Every structure is written in C-alpha cells, then in structure tokens.
A and B are shown apart, each in its own frame.
Chain A
Amino acid sequence: MAKSKLLSALDNEKGRNFKLEKQRKQEKEARKRKAKHISAEDGNDGEEDDGVSLAEEVEAAVNGQAKKEKKKDKKKGLKPAPAPAVEEPEWETDESDEEIDSEDELDDDDDIPDRAALDLSRLEDSDSEGMFDSDEEEEGEEDDDEEEDPEAEDDIPLSDIESLASEDKGDIIPHQRLTINNTAALTAALNRISLPYSKLAFSEYQSITTDEPVDIPDVEDDLNRELAFYKQSLSAVKEARQQLKKEGVPWSRPVDYFAEMVKSDEHMGKIKAKLVDDAAGKKASAEARKQRDLKKFGKQVQVAKLQERAKEKRDTLEKISLLKRKRQGADVTTTNEEDLFDVELDKAEKPTKDQRGPKPKSAGASSGGTGRRSSMGGSGKRKASSGDRDGGDDDGKPNFKRQKKDSKYGFGGKKRHAKSNDAISSADGRGFSAKKMKAGGAHKRLGKDRRAKRN
C-alpha cells in the first residue's frame, strides 16, 4: 500500500530482523492491551487495521465458539454474533459454520516464524494483503480437511460397510445420504397450506391431538401397541363428542337411519361366517380334547376295576383254600374272624351232610351238583375207611403225599357229566326269576363305553 518497492527492497536487505522486531514489538503491545482488557488480540491482528477489521468481519459473520464470542463482545462492543438460527445440528449450513470456526482457530494458532516465512515469500505485496491472503490460503487448506472430518466421524461410507460381514454390521446404520431438514421452509409450507383453525368450528375439521405423546415402549409387542392406539382414539372420541354436542352436530346414527355402509352386507356376512366358523372350531376342539381326556381316564378306571376284581377273587380263593385246610388239618389260624366264618360255613354244610348221610355211597359220588368239595370230602372218607392203602393216619386221612397227588391229578370217579344237571340241581329254583323270563324284563347290559363311564 504505502510502502514503495524500494522500501520493501530495503526491508528485504535488512531482512527479517527488522520485521521480526516489529512484530515482537507489536506483540508486546498486544499483550499490554490484553492485560488492560480482559480479552485480547493475538499478534496477527495487530499489524494493520485493515486486517483486523476484515478478521472481525469474518468473526462477526460467524457464530463462533463460546470463547470467541466472549472475546469479541468485550473487545469492541460489536453486537454479539447472531444466535444460531438453526435448531438442528444436522443442517446444511452447519458445515460452513464449522469451516469458519476452524479459520478462526487458525488465526489464533498462527505462530510468528510461520508468518515471517510467508511474508518473505510475498514481499512485493503490501504486508496487510499478504497477511490476509496467506491466512486465507491456509484456511483453504484447512477447510478441505475440516469438510471431511465430521462426516468421517458420523457416517460410515457404504462401501466400508459392504465389506463387513453381515454379523458385524448389525448395529451400524449406514448413512449414505445427507440429512435435509429445512425447518424454515417446512414452517413456511405449513403456513401456506394450513387451515385457519382458530376461526373454524370444531365440526369443520374434526381433528384432535392428544395432550401427551403416545408412549409405546416396544413396537413389536402387538397387544400393548394396539392398546395404545385404541386408547388414543378413544380419548379423542370422548373429547370430540363433547365438542360436537356443544356445537349441536348430529353424532350417533339413529336406529332407523339406513344407508350404504363401507363394508357391504355380503362382506359382513363373510365376516360373521368366519366368526361362527372360528367359534365352532374352538368348541369342537375343546370337545375333542375333553373326550380324549375322558377316554384316558376311563381306561384307568377300567384297569383299576379289573385289578380290584382279580384281587377279590384271589382273596375268596385264599379263604376257601384256608377253609379246606382247616377242615382237613386241625386249626391253622386262630383268629376270631375266621372262626366265625367257619362256624357259619359248618352250619351251612351240615344239612347237606345229613341229607347225604342215609344215601348210598354211589349216589354221593354221582351228585356233582352239590359241589365238588363235598364229594371230594366224601370220597376221601370212603377211601380212608375202605383200607389204609396209602399209609394214612388214624383219623382216616390219606397220607400227605397222597393228598397232594389227589389234589394235583384228581381222584377216582367219573369226570364226565360233572357239570350236567341232576335231579337235585334241577329241582333247585333259587336262581329262577320270573322277571328275567320276560322279553325285555331284565335290563340289558350296557355297552362297554357306558359301563366304563358309569364306574
């Protein structure tokens, strides 16, 4: 500017020292100023007023970092940097902001030797211009770096992700696109199209917004999600109903108002048929399950019953054999109960003995109807009396071995017709019932299934 080429050449000759000294001096001044004011200027701004103002302009245009703003405010009563007009951090303009921020930081960080070297390189130009240009150049370099950096932090390029294994990239959301959220434009668009709600009656638009945002913790949880939707709509219905009643708008459809519906009768019929089908299916399956369970249970009951019967039979047989032994041997058991039982049986048996007493022995042998046991008893006696061939005891019993063999193979007599009727059995009318002789008299035996169920 003011300096001529000659002067600059002189400077060149004297060189650096002069410059450096000058700068040092200015730096000292700057420090003094810094001491005076709390905020301060760095060495770079002190050189020319021109440069300072330019730098300030840059700063003023930019909403800098907190410390910057503070500095600016105190320094020259400039009006504070405009508050960020942006709410969202992901704005288009953000990047440019960051760029300028970085420039500012650069200004701060400039070192003296650096600047000296730069000045030397551009001696033809005036100092101030040279300074500013050099700064800008550096800024330009830095800008490129800065532009890439934030993206590198936030977004992972898609190409990187593709090379990853599918398991690894589960959590990473690929951000290949730039987010655009132009709030100002959105608001403008909204204002352009929105209805004048404050002037309108509620019945004109019929739209209700909930007071609280609907909170759905887990979208995958179908039941709770649908319940939240349902509640939201229900609350809206209640509110709207009151408002519409206030405005005198017809709300519910009268019963006699018939009109076309959204779903045709045919469609509703289909839905009903499906509901009925579903219900019937449910009922049928429940019934089938019940039957299965019953069947399983019935089988158990039947088995238990058979076992019980078998046990009963075993018990009676045991008792009978006990009795037999008691009759043959002396007293095997001496329990009271058994005695009682024996007495009764003896009493019952005595008359048959008496009956048979006068009869000839052949008749006794032939009378199978009265019971095998009694005939056996009789034959045993006869055997004993006829001759002690088997080495029996004194009381007319055959010996033990003979008894065993008799019981195993049977003894004597004819085995045929043992079960056929004889005069006595056919004269016995105890089992006869006139009721049973009639056509449907005795009730029929139930089927297996029903018997199982009844028990």
Chain B
Amino acid sequence: MAAVYKTLSSSSNGDKVPAGEKKIRQRVLMLSSRGTTYRHRHLLQDLYSLMPHSRKEAKFDSKSKLHQLNELAELYNCNNVLFFEARKGQDLYAWMSKAPNGPTVKFHLQNLHTMEELNFIGNCLKGSRPLLSFDAAFEKQAHLRVIKELFTQIFGVPKTARKVKPFVDHVMGFTIADGKIWIRVYQISETEPGKKKTANGEEADAEPVPTPKKSKGKPEFDVSLVEIGPRFVLTPIVIQEASFGGPIIYENKEFVSPNQIRSDLRRGKAGKYNRRTEETMEAKIRRGDLGLNSHGGRKNEKDPLSDKVLFA
C-alpha cells in the first residue's frame, strides 16, 4: 500500500525534486549491550518501531571494546550508531555516534517509561517521518549544538528511507530542563472544529487550538497532540571527537554517576551508626573523667578531711 502510494505521489509531484540534489542518507545501527532489563529492551523496541531507517542488531558482547561498533556499522552500511549500554542490570547509558569519524556522545538515560507501560492512547503510522521539535536552549552552547545535530540525524527519518510512509503524524520533542534532555513523542491529531472529539484523555489540560489551513478551501482543523510514548531523560556525560574513541572534547562536570549516588546513600546510612557509636564512646569517656564509672576512668581523689581519713 505504501509502495503504491509512493509511486503514485512520486509520479504526481516528482518533478519538484531537482535531479542534481544529493540524497541525505541516514541509517542507524541500533543495539544494546548484554545485561539489559526488559524495560531497556522494550525501549529499544519502541525506538526501532519509530525509526524506519534503523537496523536492529544482536546484543553486543563487550563493554570495553566499543570501537568494534564502527566495524559493525560499516558492515551494515550504517552511518549512525545508537548503542545502549546497561550496567549492573539497572543503569542505562546511551551512546550516539556518527559512525566512521565521530563525534560520539554518551548519555545517562533515566526516567525511562516504555510505550507498553504508559498506556497512552496516541498512535502513529509505523514508518512515518517525525517532526523534530527542539528547545531554543540547544543553540546556546557548543556541545548542545553537536547533540542537536546528532539527534536530527539519528531520530529524523530521511525522506528516502526504505520503509518510510508519506505522512507526518507524529512529533518528537527535545527539551532541556535542569541540565537534562527530556524526550517526548506525540501524535498529531487533527479534528474538525465542528465535531470536537475529546480523544486526548491524557492531555485534558491542553485544549486544541485552531490553526488556519491554507490549502484550497479545505475546512480548518484543530490540531492537538496526543502522547504516544516512550518517555525518557538523557543527561549528556561525555563527547568524544571520534566514533567510540578519540580525545574527549566535552565532559559534564555536574554529572554524578548513579554508583556515586548509591554509595553516598549507603555511606550515609553507615555514617549514622558510626556517629552513634562515637557518641556513646565519648559519653563513656566523659563519665570516666568525672569519676562516675565503677570500672576504669579517673578515680576521685580522696578528701583529706573526710571521716574515713580522719578517724581511720
């Protein structure tokens, strides 16, 4: 069906595309390391279904030799790599790279909610091209500009991708808040203003706003968004100049690794015990100094005028 439509539409407005223009070619190799949980796997599945230009690969069985991913990408003709690295069966790191020459960005992925567990009623065509919506803060700093470019190339589906479908029915939002990048996916739902369908149960707070439609006297539509999922938050950690290697050209100072956080928590708990024991020891010593202990400590000096001394 899609193929039929494509041929038809290309025959109808194929003359618009200049012949000399070079095609943008993006292919994303998408894979994870070993030791992912089911949620990580589902996220990978969700992203794969949203990105028709991606190639899913079997789990990669190494965490130290990531440069091998370049060869893998070359093998599959991919010029982007999206690699999920799970650590300790709980933390997920996302690597995004332009395959042969870099740069590579490493993110820490948090607040992960997959499509399956979110139960959003939004839905979109498998293989339609997304709109990418970026926060203006992406333009403010050099490393964010690099990240934005990577997002545009990895998540943006090229027009000529093989399994692509011709309509625009979902939008991906990238927003920077609190030093992290928040990612949301919405369906674009258009309703005629007459019969307003309240399909957006999740987004009840946002009322659809009418937008004038310009083309050939068609009725105006209300545009509203319905979230599809998944949701996740990325914290940039490191940018490397080459692909999975090379000098580090950016490092996030404020990133605290989850291991550090966990150990701090544990240490905090342990510290409570240590403090308490210390206090009891101090109290004991104080009492000893005052001569209140029966064993040890300092003995009270004998009063030279006490009865025991005087009438011994």
Contact = CB atoms under 8 A, between A and B. Distances in A.
Contacts of A272: 121
Interface stretch (B57-65, B263-271, B286-294): B263-271
Contacts of B71: none
A243 to B, nearest CB: 10
Contact of A251 (B121, B142, B168): B168
B131 A232 contact: no
A216 B248 CA distance: 30
Contacts of A348: none
Interface residues of A, number: 79
Interface string B128-144: 11111111111110110
A195 interface: yes
B149 A245 contact: no
A187 interface: yes
A260 B249 contact: no
B91 interface: no
Contact of A207 (B5, B134, B142, B215): B134
Interface in A183-240: 183, 185-187, 189-190, 192-195, 200, 203-214, 216, 219, 223, 225-238, 240
Contacts of B156: 205-207
Interface string A256-297: 011111110001101110110000000000000000000000
Interface stretch (B33-41, B177-185, B303-311): B177-185
A253 interface: yes
A117 interface: no
Contact of A232 (B133, B205, B271): B133
Interface stretch (A74-82, A169-177, A388-396): A169-177
A335 interface: no
B159 A204 contact: yes
Contacts of A248: 13, 16
B44 interface: no
A417 B34 CA distance: 100
B167 A223 contact: no
B203 interface: yes
Contacts of B171: 233, 236-237, 240
Nearest to A220: B178
A242 interface: yes
A205 B140 contact: no
A257 B252 CA distance: 46
A231 B171 CA distance: 12
A386 interface: no
Size range of the interface on B?
35 or more
Given A232-B133, A259-B126, A267-B116, A241 B215 contact: no
A214 B102 contact: no
A233 B225 contact: yes
B162 interface: no
A250 interface: yes
A162 B265 CA distance: 11
B206 A229 contact: no
A178 interface: yes
B43 interface: no
A229 B126 CA distance: 23
Contact of A185 (B159, B205, B247, B252): B247
Contacts of B130: 206
Interface string B6-21: 0001000100100000
Given A177-B253, A237-B223, A209 B134 contact: yes
A211 B173 CA distance: 14
B136 A236 contact: no
A181 B143 contact: yes
Given A177-B253, A192-B101, A259 B165 contact: yes
Nearest to A197: B152
A179 B124 CA distance: 41
Contact of B126 (A226, A238, A241, A261): A261
A180 B249 contact: yes
B152 A212 contact: no
A316 interface: no
A85 to B, nearest CB: 13
Given A166-B271, A178-B251, A210-B134, A189 B241 contact: yes
B205 A180 contact: no
Contacts of A237: 131, 133, 171, 188, 223, 225
A245 B214 contact: yes
Contacts of B281: none
A161 to B, nearest CB: 9
A249 interface: yes
B120 A244 contact: no
A231 B228 CA distance: 16
Most buried by A among B158, B206, B253: B253
A210 B171 CA distance: 14
B211 A238 contact: yes
A229 B123 contact: no
Contacts of B250: 180-182, 186
A93 interface: no
Most buried by A among B120, B135, B158, B221: B135
Nearest to A217: B177
A371 B168 CA distance: 95
Most buried by B among A173, A228, A260, A263: A263
A181 B254 CA distance: 13
B256 interface: yes
Contact of B177 (A190, A225, A275): A225
Interface in B40-97: 46, 49-50
B145 interface: yes
B209 interface: yes
A186 B249 contact: yes
Interface in B92-123: 98, 101-103, 115-116, 119-121, 123
B175 A250 contact: no
Contacts of B50: 262
Nearest to B174: A232
B225 A259 contact: no
A226 B200 CA distance: 14
A213 B228 CA distance: 24
13 contacts: A166-B264, A179-B253, A185-B247, A186-B103, A189-B239, A214-B136, A231-B206, A232-B173, A237-B131, A252-B188, A259-B2, A261-B123, A270-B119
Top 4 nearest A-B pairs (CB, nearest first) are A166-B268, A236-B133, A186-B142, A179-B253
Interface of B: 1-2, 5, 9, 13, 16, 24, 46, 49-50, 98, 101-103, 115-116, 119-121, 123-140, 142-143, 145-146, 148-150, 152-153, 156, 158-159, 165-169, 171-173, 175-178, 182, 184, 186, 188, 190, 201, 203, 205-206, 209, 211, 213-215, 221, 223-225, 228, 239, 241, 247-254, 256, 260, 264, 267-268, 271-272, 275
Given A174-B256, A250-B9, 4 more contacts: A178-B251, A207-B134, A214-B176, A258-B1
